[in-house]
Chain A
Amino acid sequence: MATITFEVNGEREEVAFAPHKTLLEVLREDLGLTGTKHGCELGECGTCTVLLDGTPVLSCLVLGLACAGHGVRTVEGMARGGKLHPLQETFADLGAAQCGYCTPAFLLAAEALLAANPRPTREEIKDALAGNLCRCTGYIKIYEAIELAAERMQHA
């Protein structure tokens, strides 16, 4: 067993796990944070995207051990004080989540995009999300939700 200390959604966590475990497995199995999903566990679909120190990573390709001392953000950390994040609000309002399985990954990828580029163009949104697959929506409602959230966050 390996033990690491890292920050998850702004809170310090100390967790012990088998050293071969991926960040995805540590989050889901050892911390019970099942909001992070998996579609392949081979780095192909983007469904397990989380933010590592603010950067989107595929948690199925990151070893848990490598996160010692770093900060991880998952979908569970997005809503604060019982209030949805603007991206969560617009995803819910516009129907950007159908089955909802890829949604946590898209939300985090979008959050990272807006942090770096608060008013992205449609093309910049497409580029930022090109590594995330969604089989339900055709992506269009996702673009629209990100654009609306960007607008609201600027005026907030």
Chain B
Amino acid sequence: MHRVIGKALRKVDAVAKVTGATRFADDLTFPRMLYCKLLRSTQPHARIVSVDASAAAKLDGVQAVLTGRDLPIPFGILPVSQDEHALCVERVRFIGDPVAAVAATSEETATAALDLIKVQYEPLKSFASAEEAVEHPEPRIHDYGDSGNLHKLIDLEFGDADEGIAEGDLVREDLFFFEGSTHLPMEQHAALAQWSPLPDGKLTLWTSTQTPHYVHRALAKVLELPAARIRVIATPNGGGFGGKSDPFSHELVVAKFAMMTGRPVKITLTREEVFYCHRGRHPTLMWVRTGVKRDGAITGMHFKSLLDGGAYGSYGVASTYYTGALQTVTYHVPRYHFQGARAFTNKAPCGPKRGHGTPQPRFALEVHIDKIAEELHLDPAELRLKTLVPANSLTANYLRVGSMGLGQCITKVVEGSGWKKKFRKLPRGRGVGLACSSYISGAGLPIYWNNMPHSGVQLKCDRGGGVTVFCGSTEIGQGSDSILAYIVAEVLGVDPFDIAVVTGDTDLTPVDLGSYSSRVTLMSGNAALQAAERARQILALHAAQQLEIPAERLTFADGRVFDGKNPKHGMSFAEAVQRAEAAEGTIGTVGSYTPPQSAGKYRGAGVGPSPAYSYSACVAEVDVDPETGIVRVPTIWIAHDVGRSINSASVIGQVEGSIYMGLGEALMEEMAYRGDLKVVHKIPSLLEYKSPTTLEMCDVVTYLIEDPDPNGPFGAKEVGQGPLLPVMPAVANAVYDAVGVRVDEVPITPEKVFKALRRKEKGEPARYGPDHFPDIAWPEPTRVPTPWEGGDGKAVSPASV
């Protein structure tokens, strides 16, 4: 019986957040602080002929200026894509690329100084879409990458997919497009650097980052400082959603300025600049062909994706793999072929947004299956239930599925939504749609290869009864600080609010890789669990001696340590710490977590494996106005298999937030570009980038499925990202149910629905969406026999992999 785990407790930082006491990066100021501003490129693609910052440097109040040559060492989040510079050196690659920087005594002076910097550009041909980049290998946006302007090309085949597809009673082919969208955290990125001069030579950077460990590494590399002389403190993030997961130009620039001037230097990006930082959802074109038996069983699948990566690598190689990785973990796909390509274009760089590379293919797959179900005259819920991947199994691409609650999820939303009474039965204009999804609970492999733990925790017991937990994890609003406190409190039987949590500080906390890939609850939670169990063991040893009972009989609960058979016979938790400390010295323990080895051994097997997969099923109900094409979503029912809730209120909060963000992507959110060249952002503002307000947000009915996974702390799996994924396809399927048109593209704007309705009236295909997937010179496929063909996870060809 858990005392803390599963309860809807207040979060440990809740009071600070409701009183305005939480200090976000821009809330920090220091005496003599300088203000930094970045000059950004006005050209989408150009050679930098010259940068003259001399007039800016002379402006009264300007303390320092920087241009690309001052920070020549490249960086990037992935070791294979070190293609960014703090400030552009020879070339700019998108409108908004940072070119020069100023540090001045006021923000106004810094802004005025930017106007005095003269940049001479020699324009180059620019590319606005992945298709254009495929068509034009020259001029190359980067001088690296797999081919021309294609950054990455992937071809993976698990069994003979064509043969498998041919065995189907029905073979269906579809094309889909998923428009790019951005995270839009309410907090603009901000960073503040401080330098302690030599002989200290120590840099401290406060920054709104989800990944202080990777920022630490990038600072050491670019600034050529020993990592031991750099301290990165991740301030609480005012929303992240993946948008603060890369090391950024502005972080390096303020650090350099602090070193140059010896004064604290701060930058807070404008909202416009946040749009240029981007790293959001890749616009993705997809083609899928699937063979199915009459009962819906999949015989083979071939999936192609083309991602518009924007101007830099970012996480893009991983994103591309992710567009092909998780198709296999929901419905059994016996043979599977994936081809993925990522193009460089002259737009703000794309990267990881909530769901990272998986919402696009999930949209495609779930609408594709809805169409297959219709052709087979099967209920889409029934079809899915019949083809589920079994728990504790290996997929064709060697992903190890543990607990698998998707069947329960489907059953819950089908019942809850009244699906059977509504599907294909509602009056015209109203409809329901179903879709499912799955997501990783943390990536099985780290971003840079190493065999160290992914998460570490140190734990200190104070003789007053307090406990302090140290972990490198980063609080971005998802509740990661609270998770640490709850888990330790459960094990040690203390009040979670008696636990101090110290996180996201590279000087004070052991490494945790960061708040991305839905890894934190599972990984830092397991590390905290191990540290707490070790502390409990030490305390139990001495308490048992004092109480003269075997240690196994001890219970830790309610701030006491006592005999489980005779609760009165015991002592306070503080006394237990004191006895242990008297006997052994300071009581501290450590815990760490490393994910299990993945089963795939082929090149590319690093993306997809996870200690556990979450599952979600969703039914959306829509109202579509056939006159205007306007889609309203009154209600979404969602069931999420979270393994086990550590805090049920937080889990439901993550589900509701995911539905909200998914609804935005389904109906309105898009990183649209305009102008003759289609490379100018369509008004980078919170007003023009449409996102749901209270007036668009739907009602949400949430069901939690709790089937503990053996790899999760107390059985917990992820919840922060997975529930977003089924929303877009569920809405698309519901629009079809309502008005009989397919919008094979998100966002599903009124214009698209309207056009599809007009086509239907004219007797043309009742559809809006892409009609062509370009020819791409794919590499020779990496062939990996499936587990049921006797494969061992290794590729059999080509010889090089």
B290 at the interface (CB under 8 A from A): no
- Residues on the B chain within 8 Å of A75, using CB: 18-20
CB-CB under 8 A for A47 and B695, given A34-B27, A91-B18, A92-B15: no
Does chain B have a CB within 8 A of A49? no
Interface residues of A in 110-156 (CB under 8 A from B): 125-127, 129-141, 143
Does B700 lie within 8 Å of A138, measured CB to CB?
yes
Question: Would B186 and A98 count as touching, CB distance under 8 A?
Answer: no
For residue A33, give the distance in angstroms from its CB to the closest CB of chain B. Answer: 8
Task: Check if B22 sits within 8 Å of A100, measured CB to CB.
Answer: yes
Kindly list chain B residues whose C-beta atoms are within 8 Å of the C-beta of A131: 693
Q: Give Cα A79 to B477, complex, Å.
A: 22
Supposing A36-B20, A98-B653 touch, asked if A140 and B186 sit within 8 A by C-beta, the answer is no
A7 is an interface residue with CB less than 8 A from chain B = no
In angstroms, Cα B240 to Cα A143, docked, is: 23
Interface assignment of B656: CB less than 8 Å from any CB of chain A: yes
Q: What CA separation (Å) do A64 and B686 show in the bound complex?
A: 24
Question: Which one of A42, A79, A127, A134 contacts B186 once the chains associate, using CB atoms below 8 Å?
Answer: A134
Would you give the shortest CB distance from B344 to chain A, in whole angstroms?
28
- Does B397 interact with chain A (Cβ within 8 Å)? no
Once bound together, how far apart are the Cα atoms of A127 and B693, in whole Å?
10
Interface residues of B in 182-232 (CB under 8 A from A): 183-188
Q: Does A94 contact B (CB under 8 A)?
A: yes
B352 within 8 A of A: no
Residue with the greatest number of chain B CB neighbours at <10 A, chosen from A84, A99, A103, A129: A99
Chain B positions within 8 Å of A125 at CB level: 694
Closest B residue, CB atoms, query A91: B18
Q: Does A15 contact B (CB under 8 A)?
A: no
Rounded to whole Å, the gap between the CB of B267 and the closest CB of chain A is 14
Known: A44-B687, A103-B18, A137-B653. A37 touches B238 (CB 8 A): yes
Contact pattern, B 661-696, Cβ under 8 Å of A = 1, otherwise 0: 100000000000000000000000111000101110
Beyond A101-B238, A139-B660, A141-B653, whether A133 also contacts B693 by CB under 8 A is: yes
Contact B657 A98 (CB under 8 A): yes
Q: Is B185 in contact with A135, judged by CB distance below 8 angstroms? A: yes
Q: A66: CB under 8 A from chain B?
A: no
Q: Are B184 and A135 in contact (CB under 8 A)?
A: yes
Given A45-B686, A95-B11, answer yes or no on A103-B17 (Cβ-Cβ < 8 Å): yes
- The CB with the most chain B CB atoms within 10 A, among A28, A138, A139, is that of A138
Q: Which residue of A93, A95, A103 is within 8 Å of B653 (Cβ)?
A: A95
Cβ B694 vs Cβ A139 within 8 A? yes
B13, B183, B187, B691 — most chain A CB neighbours (10 Å): B187
Q: Is the CB of B18 within 8 A of A98?
A: no
Tell me the count of chain B residues lying within 8 A, CB to CB, of chain A.
55
Tell me if B476 is interfacial: C-beta within 8 Å of chain A.
yes
Within 8 A of B (CB), among A42-101: 42, 44-45, 47, 74-76, 78-79, 84, 88-89, 91-95, 97-101
Name the residue on A nearest B664 (C-beta). Answer: A135
Q: Is B650 a contact of A95 with CB atoms below 8 Å?
A: yes
| A143-B694 Cα distance, complex, nearest whole Å | 10
Q: Is the CB–CB distance between B656 and A76 below 8 Å?
A: no
Which residues of B (15-31) have their CB < 8 Å from a CB of A?
Answer: 15-24, 26-27
Within 8 A of A (CB), among B229-244: 236-241
B196 to chain A, nearest CB (A): 25
A99 (CB) vs chain B CBs: closest residue? B477
Contact B17 A100, beta carbon cutoff 8 Å: yes
Chain A neighbourhood of B22, CB < 8 A: 100
A90–B24 alpha-carbon span in the complex (Å): 22
Q: Judging by beta carbons under 8 Å apart, are B653 and A39 in contact?
A: no
Taking the complex as formed, is B270 at the interface, i.e. its CB lies under 8 A from any CB of chain A?
Answer: yes
Minimum CB–CB distance from B636 to chain A (whole Å) comes to: 10
Q: Which of B17, B270, B658 has most A Cβ within 10 Å?
A: B17
Given A41-B271, A100-B477, the answer on whether A140 and B686 have CB atoms closer than 8 Å is: no
Query: Given known contacts A99-B238, A141-B653, is B20 in contact with A34 (CB within 8 Å)?
Result: yes
For the complex, is A23 an interface residue (Cβ under 8 Å from B)?
Answer: no
Q: Is the CB of A35 within 8 A of B19?
A: yes
A86–B653 alpha-carbon span in the complex (Å): 20
Chain A residues closer than 8 Å to B271, beta-carbon distance: 39-42, 44
Does B245 belong to the interface (CB within 8 Å)? Answer: no
User: CA A137 – CA B477 in complex, angstroms?
Assistant: 10
Return chain A residues, CB-CB under 8 Å to B661: 135, 138
A100 to B26 alpha-carbon distance, docked (Å): 14
B662 to A, closest residue via Cβ: A138
B729 shortest CB reach to chain A, Å: 19
The residue on B at minimum CB distance from A104 is B20
Q: How far is the CA of A28 from the CA of B23 in the complex (A)?
A: 12
Q: List 26 A-B contacts (CB under 8 A).
A: A42-B271, A42-B685, A42-B686, A45-B186, A45-B686, A75-B20, A89-B18, A91-B14, A92-B10, A92-B15, A93-B10, A95-B11, A95-B14, A95-B652, A97-B17, A99-B237, A99-B239, A99-B240, A100-B16, A100-B22, A130-B695, A134-B186, A135-B660, A138-B657, A138-B697, A141-B653
Interface residues of A (CB under 8 A from B): 28, 33-42, 44-45, 47, 74-76, 78-79, 84, 88-89, 91-95, 97-104, 107, 125-127, 129-141, 143
Which 5 A/B pairs are nearest by Cβ-Cβ distance? A35-B20, A99-B477, A100-B17, A101-B238, A138-B660
- Which B residues have a C-beta under 8 Å from some C-beta of A? 8, 10-11, 13-24, 26-27, 183-188, 236-241, 270-271, 476-479, 649-650, 652-653, 656-661, 685-687, 691, 693-695, 697, 699-700
Give 19 new A-B contacts, CB below 8 A, not counting A100-B17, A103-B20: A35-B21, A36-B20, A37-B238, A39-B271, A41-B271, A44-B685, A92-B11, A92-B15, A97-B14, A98-B479, A98-B657, A101-B187, A127-B694, A133-B186, A135-B185, A135-B239, A136-B653, A138-B657, A138-B697
